[in-house]
Structure 1
Amino acid sequence: MVIQGGGMNGTAIENFACVIFNVSFMNCTWHAGRTASGDTQYFLYWKTSRKEDFTECQNYIKDNWGRHTGCRFQNVTIENKRAYFLVNGSRSGKNIQSYEKIIVLYKIEKLTPPLNVTVNCTEASHGCEIRWQPPRTSHVKKHNCFKYELVIENKSDPEKNIKTISKTEKSITVNSYIFESFSTEKRYSVKIRATDNGCLVSPSWGEWTAPIEFGKEKLTSTSSYPFFLIPMLAVSLMLFLCTVNSYLSRTSATVPQPRDLFRELSPTDFQVEHKNQLIKHETEEIITIIEEVT
Structure 2
Amino acid sequence: MEFLSPATLDEALAAKAAHRDAVPIMGGTDVMVELNFDRRRPDVLLDLTRVTELREWDVVDGHVRLGAGVTYARVVDELGGHLPGLALASRTVGSPQIRNRGTVGGNLGAASPAGDAHPPLLAAFAEVELASAGGVRRVPAAEFYTGVKRHAGADDELVTAVWVPTATGPQQFSKIGTRNAMVIAVAAFALALHPEERRVGTGIGSAAPTPRRAREAEDLLAGELDWEGRGALRETVAAEFGRLVAAAADPIDDVRGTAAYRRHALGVMARRCLGWAWAEQQDRHREGGH
Pair member with larger Rg: 1
Give the structure with the larger strand fraction. 1
